Amino acid sequence: MRKLKHEEIPRPSPAAVSALPKHPISVVLDNVRSLYNVGSIFRTSDAALIEKLYLTGITGTPDNRGLHKTALGAQDTVAWAYEKDPVAVAHRLREAGYTLAVLEITDTPTRTTAVKSDHFPLCLVVGNELSGVRDDLVHLADLALEIPQYGAKQSLNVAVAYGIAVFDLVRCFRSFE
């Protein structure tokens, strides 16, 4: 087998991507402290072709140049908005028919691979590196998504956990089409 050269890999233009129908997944990034993680999440969100990233609380925005180092341009191809209050975003999206799903370890876990067709459109809420998703958002949620972990630590980096979860959601959604 042969590795494709950089110029052989098909890359739709940002304008073409912008015109594509998106996967019906919006994401709330609440109180994510590290610009490195936020940038990486932008890059993953471009690859997963989600609708929109809502940056809330202390989460940094692309106005911080430190984020560009890991976003690598995805800050210009993914729709995003900053809103201070994640609860207001969550209420608005639920009223618009979205299922509110937190990525968090709770007493009622649902696997990221077990999402159903009527859970879309879906709003995925990702929280702080240390404290996770805020309790008031967990209480509001319809679903708590969990990635099964088999080791001693029971803790994944937030950008890695987001990558696993959002690609599972995209795969679920595409399997229903």
Binding site for a second copy (CB under 8 A): 1-4, 9-14, 16-17, 20, 23, 36, 40, 43-49, 70, 72-74, 77-78, 104-108, 113, 132-133, 135, 138-139, 141, 144, 147, 149-157, 159-164, 167, 170-171
Q: What's the rounded Cα separation, in Å, for the pair 114 and 117?
A: 10
Looking at beta carbons only, is 55 or 141 nearer to a second copy? 141
Looking at beta carbons only, is 1 or 65 nearer to a second copy? 1
Q: How far is the CB of 126 from a second copy (least distance, A)?
A: 13
Looking at beta carbons only, is 44 or 59 nearer to a second copy? 44
Q: How far is the CB of 102 from a second copy (least distance, A)?
A: 8
Question: In the numeric block, which tokens belong to residue 143?
Answer: 């679903």
Looking at beta carbons only, is 69 or 92 nearer to a second copy? 69
Looking at beta carbons only, is 117 or 157 nearer to a second copy? 157
φ, ψ of residue 4 to 5 degrees: the values are -75, 140
Q: What's the rounded Cα separation, in Å, for the pair 79 and 53?
A: 6
**Beta-carbon contacts of residue 96 (< 8 Å; ≥ 6 apart):** 121
Contact between residue 67 and residue 60 where contact means Cβ atoms under 8 Å apart: yes
Q: How far is the CB of 44 from a second copy (least distance, A)?
A: 6
Q: How far is the CB of 51 from a second copy (least distance, A)?
A: 12
CB burial of residue 121 (10 Å; 0-12, 13-18, 19+): middle
Residue with tokens 């209050």: 85
Tell which residue, 71, 79, 10, has the closest CA to residue 49: 79
Q: How far is the CB of 18 from a second copy (least distance, A)?
A: 9
